[in-house]
Amino acid sequence: MQRIAVLTSGGDAPGMNAAIRAVVRKAIYHGLEVLGIKRGFSGFIEADIEPLNLRSVADVVHRGGTILRTARSEKFKTFEGRKMAKENVDRFGLQGLVVIGGGGSFLGAHVFSREFGLPVVGVPGTIDNDISGTDYTIGFDTAVNTVVEAINKIRDTATSHERTFVLEVMGRDTGFIALSAGLAGGAESIIIPERPFNLEEICARLVRSYRKGSSHSIIVVAEGAASGMEIGREIKNRTGFDTKVTILGHLQRGGNPTAFDRILASMLGAKAVEWLMEGGSNIMVGYVAGQVVAVDLERVINRKKRINMALYDLAGILSI
Ligand code: F6P
């Protein structure tokens, strides 16, 4: 193996740059050439590809976003689009590909690898943490810390004005960010898609805690479970409490990665190169119980990651 490529795809996540850096430096360490594919699978189709060297990844380990840029490519979902990407595999002499992204990106990579035989290794990068076969995805820890910081700040103003706050956080189909940040931030209630919620109960809880002397409340809602605006409106209507809504949005995707995300990205990126060199393909580099593990991409794509319900119940107990 002489030449590999790396791309980032789907929603950006803090730590992706540390992963790109690890891929590039590990490959160069072993005498390989590395090409960077810009804008995910879109750049793969459009030949937006350039060589990367040690300098290309200098001064990026601490930066959020992705220096390779990213996209969600509709065209790559078609055979015609993937065939154009295959032409670029031949044109640039690519012998392996590292895909840093989430579930949708892995599906595309898996199909492509099956169709055209290019060895592919996936590195899980998404703030959502919704990838099975790994305890953590790159970017999740940073996003959770961003949300916790927001909760801390909102708590100051919530206490001062004796208000109820609904905080809507990201998580397209899952509640990983909401649960972790809600627990760490001491939220009164956490609403996630994995557990049906009862607004009547949530309001009763708010009224109880108000009667016990609590002057403010924070409710964290995962965007995939409900709209923060609607929950806020309903709470206000039912309880009469002064209720405000904050939607954190894309703020959660930016910022300097935490040390945890940088270390995770470095380990997983480097291992992806190692496995490509050893002939691995159609696998994802996961992190399970403190170990770096190989997981079949097919398994990753077909299994839904389970949220830790014990943690959810604990958050409920601790917020009485
Ligand atoms: O997949 C990561 C994520 O941030 C989700 O939490 C969110 O729903 C989605 O991406 C937003 O995507 P976009 O930036 O394309 O609006």
Q: Which of 215, 237, 253 is the last residue of a domain?
A: 253
Domain that holds residue 42: 3-139+257-302
Q: What is the pLDDT of residue 10?
A: 97
Cα gap 209→137, rounded to integer Å: 35
Tens-place pLDDT, residues 122-168: 999 999 999 999 999 999 999 999 999 999 999 999 999 999 999 99
Residues 213 and 147 occupy one common structural domain: yes
Would you say the CB of residue 102 lies under 6 angstroms from ligand 1? yes
The answer to whether residue 133 is domain-embedded is yes
Would you say the CB of residue 11 lies under 6 angstroms from ligand 1? yes
Q: What is the pLDDT of residue 25?
A: 98
- Among protein residues, the one whose CA lies closest to atom 14 of ligand 1: 11
Sorting pLDDT into bands at 50, 70 and 90, what band is 320? confident
Atom of ligand 1 nearest to the CA of 72: 15
Residues 192 and 222 occupy one common structural domain: yes
Would you say the CB of residue 125 lies under 6 angstroms from ligand 1? no
Residues 247 and 268 occupy one common structural domain: no
Which of 172, 177, 223 for a ligand 1 pocket mutation test, highest count of atoms within 8 Å of Cβ?
Answer: 172
Residues 167 and 277 occupy one common structural domain: no
Residues 46 and 174 occupy one common structural domain: no
State mean pLDDT over 266-278: 98
Q: Residue 73 pLDDT > 90, yes or no?
A: yes
Q: What is the pLDDT of residue 217?
A: 96
Contact 66, 12 (CB under 8 A): yes
- Among protein residues, the one whose CA lies closest to atom 12 of ligand 1: 11
The answer to whether residue 317 is domain-embedded is no
Q: What is the pLDDT of residue 244?
A: 98
Residues 52 and 182 occupy one common structural domain: no
Residues 66 and 157 occupy one common structural domain: no
The answer to whether residue 313 is domain-embedded is no
CATH for 281: 3.40.50.450
Would you say the CB of residue 140 lies under 6 angstroms from ligand 1? no
Residues 105 and 194 occupy one common structural domain: no
Residues 225 and 188 occupy one common structural domain: yes
Element (H, E) at 100: strand 96-101
Q: What is the pLDDT of residue 215?
A: 83
The answer to whether residue 154 is domain-embedded is yes
> Which tokens belong to 128?
């959502």
Residues 47 and 123 occupy one common structural domain: yes
- Among protein residues, the one whose CA lies closest to atom 15 of ligand 1: 11
The answer to whether residue 99 is domain-embedded is yes
> Which tokens belong to 192?
């996630």
Residues 38 and 103 occupy one common structural domain: yes
Residue 233 exposure: Cα atoms within 13 Å on the Cβ side: 5
* Per-position DSSP letters for 51-71, written without gaps between them: EE-TGGGTT-TT--S-TT---
Please list the alpha-helical segments (H only) found in the chain: 16-29, 40-45, 79-92, 103-116, 140-161, 176-184, 199-211, 228-239, 259-277, 297-302, 309-318
- Among protein residues, the one whose CA lies closest to atom 10 of ligand 1: 11
Pairing relation of β-strands 49-52 and 33-37?
antiparallel
Q: What would you report as the CA-atom Rg of the chain, rounded to the nearest whole angstrom? A: 21
CATH for 203: 3.40.50.460
Judged by DSSP in three states, 248 sits in coil
The catalytic residues are 128
C-alpha closest to that of 273 among 8, 31, 110 = 31
Q: Which of 227, 253, 279 is the last residue of a domain?
A: 253
Residues 239 and 290 occupy one common structural domain: no
Overall number of domains in the chain: 2
